[in-house]
Each structure stands twice: as structure tokens, then as C-alpha cells.
């Protein structure tokens, strides 16, 4: 899943692109081996200034129009029901990638139209939860969170669900590493698992570098995610991630 940020303040400058440059950026990502293109019109990095829903939609709408004639699988990175609804009216087969953990209105929307939906864990989405910087129970907590939200989704008829354990939204780098280490536990749900470690804080803080210098570490953790059972890697860097994935596939074929 290739990241295309239609913003001017996403944490990794290399992922930012204006609407005028979307078609060219997406063409390159597809040539490099992307399977899904994830369009984001509002930065969700910690401390980011939120744009209005209308501004977010204008960015998404412009990008979708520029890609109207291009055959590719699109994902819309939004937690706003209004943005998701308008996007779903424009194009069939969209994935709604919601980092908020969901709401009844969002569940009703995706259930009603049968859209594919990414359910993401974050500490902020857990009702009444407190942040524990090094939570030995984090994997169990996330499993309980998914159990609860999946039951809600099922009530609204939403069955096409992808799970995202929320690397970067767990409360700390320590918790992020624990979630990666326990990734195989989420196989119990029998659903695709998306993992996004690309150039995130657990990489650059650990190696004492910047996001711009974090490609190598991102690939290492991407490999670990695949070992744990991840089926989708969300990344800024399609070509090297595709190379890593092909090596992983060969490794698994020979070693089981």
C-alpha cells in the first residue's frame, strides 16, 4: 500500500504531493509494484493542525478526479464519515482506511454499501483507557479492542474488514515493538492484517536518525511484520519494499 499524502505537513516530506502531481506519483508507485494507493487529505501525525472537513474533501476529490481513468485499487485515509461517504459515491471498490478506531456512523456507512474497511487500534479509541508507556498487556488489549469493534461492525453488516494494530498510535515506541512481536496473535480473527512501520518514530528514534534516514530500519521491521503474519504493508517506499517482499516470499517458500 503506497502512501500519498495530499498535505503540506505530513511527518515525512517525501510522501507529500499536491493534487497536480498525484497522477505522476501514482503512476510511478504502480510501476514500482504498489497494489493499493492510499490517499490522505488530512495529516494524522501527533500535533498536526487539523484541516476542515471541506478542505480535506477538496484534496481527496481532486486526487480522485485525476485518477479517474487509471486502473488501480484506491484507499481513502480518513476518519471523517462525510469524506468517506462522498468518496464512496465517486468510485466503486474503495477501501476506507480509518485511523480513529471507528464510530457507529462510519460502521453504518461501510456496512450499508459493503465497502472494505480498515479498523485501526489506537489508545485514544479505547473508551476510558489510560496510556501505559510500556504495557506488557498491549497485545491482549488490542485483541479485546478488535473483538468489541468487530462485533459492532457485524451488527451493521460490515464484513470486509482489515485489521491495523496501529503502530504509532499505541502510546509509546515500547508498545509498538510489543505489538510487532505479538502480531501472530491477531491471526485468530481470520482477517487481513495491515501494518504501517514506514519511517515512523519507532524506527528513527531507535537508530537516532531522521525520518529521511529511516528506510533501512523500516525494511527490517517490514520483514518482521511479514514474519508475524501481516498481509499488507503500508509504505512510503514502494520499490525497495517490493524487493524485500519478493525475497521474503522466496524465503517462506523454502522454509515454510
With CA atoms as reference, report the closest residue to 35 among 162, 155, 150.
Answer: 162
Task: Report which DSSP code applies to 184.
Answer: G
Active-site entry in 155, 234, 242, 252:
234
State the Cα–Cα distance between residues 169 and 173, nearest whole angstrom: 9
Alpha helices in 125-235 (DSSP H): 138-155, 173-181, 201-207, 215-227
Q: What is the longest distance spanned by two Cα atoms in the chain?
A: 51
Phi first, then psi: what are they for 215, rounded to 5°? -65, -50
With CA atoms as reference, report the closest residue to 118 among 140, 133, 101, 141.
Answer: 101
Classify 137 as helix, strand or coil: coil
CA distances from 199 to 12, 41, 57, 116, 214 (A): 7, 19, 26, 26, 5
State the Cα–Cα distance between residues 133 and 138, nearest whole angstrom: 10
Beta bridge partners of residue 96, listed in sequence order = 76, 117
State the Cα–Cα distance between residues 80 and 23, nearest whole angstrom: 24
Active-site entry in 59, 200, 201, 242:
200
**87 Cβ neighbours under 8 A, 6+ residues apart:** 60, 61, 64, 76, 78, 94, 96
Q: Which three cell numbers stand for residue 149?
A: 469493534
Residue 250 designated active-site: no
Residue 200 designated active-site: yes
- Radius of gyration over every alpha carbon of the chain, rounded to an integer in angstroms: 17
| Residues annotated as catalytic (active site), given as ranges | 200, 234
Amino acid at each position: 500500500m503506497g502512501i500519498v499524502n495530499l498535505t503540506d505537513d505530513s511527518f515525512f516530506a517525501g510522501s507529500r504531493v499536491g493534487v497536480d502531481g498525484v497522477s505522476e506519483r501514482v503512476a510511478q508507485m504502480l510501476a514500482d509494484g504498489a497494489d493499493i494507493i492510499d490517499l490522505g487529505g488530512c495529516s494524522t501525525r501527533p500535533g498536526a493542525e487539523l484541516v476542515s472537513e471541506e478542505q480535506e474533501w477538496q484534496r481527496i476529490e481532486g486526487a480522485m478526479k485525476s485518477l479517474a481513468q487509471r486502473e488501480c485499487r484506491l484507499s481513502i485515509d480518513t476518519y471523517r464519515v462525510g469524506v468517506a461517504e462522498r468518496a464512496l459515491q465517486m468510485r466503486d471498490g474503495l477501501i476506507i482506511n480509518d485511523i480513529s478506531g471507528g464510530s457507529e456512523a462510519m460502521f453504518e456507512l461501510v456496512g450499508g454499501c459493503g465497502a472494505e474497511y480498515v479498523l485501526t487500534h489506537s489508545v485514544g479509541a479505547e473508551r476510558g483507557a489510560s496510556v501505559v508507556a510500556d504495557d506488557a498487556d498491549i497485545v491482549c488489549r488490542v485483541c479485546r479492542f478488535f473483538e468489541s469493534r468487530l462485533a459492532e461492525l457485524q451488527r451493521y453488516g460490515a464484513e470486509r474488514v482489515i485489521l491495523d494494530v496501529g503502530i504509532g498510535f499505541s502510546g509509546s515506541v515500547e508498545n509498538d515493538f510489543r505489538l510487532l512481536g505479538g502480531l501472530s496473535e491477531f491471526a485468530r480473527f481470520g482477517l487481513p492484517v495491515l501494518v504501517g512501520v514506514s519511517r515512523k518514530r519507532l524506527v528513527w528514534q531507535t537508530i537516532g536518525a531522521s525520518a529521511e534516514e529511516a528506510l533501512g530500519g523500516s525494511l527490517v521491521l517490514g520483514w518482521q511484520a511479514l514474519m508475524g503474519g501481516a498481509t499488507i504493508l503500508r509504505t512510503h517506499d514502494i520499490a525497495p519494499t517490493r524487493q524485500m517482499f519478493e525475497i521474503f516470499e522466496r524465503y517462506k517458500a523454502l522454509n515454510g
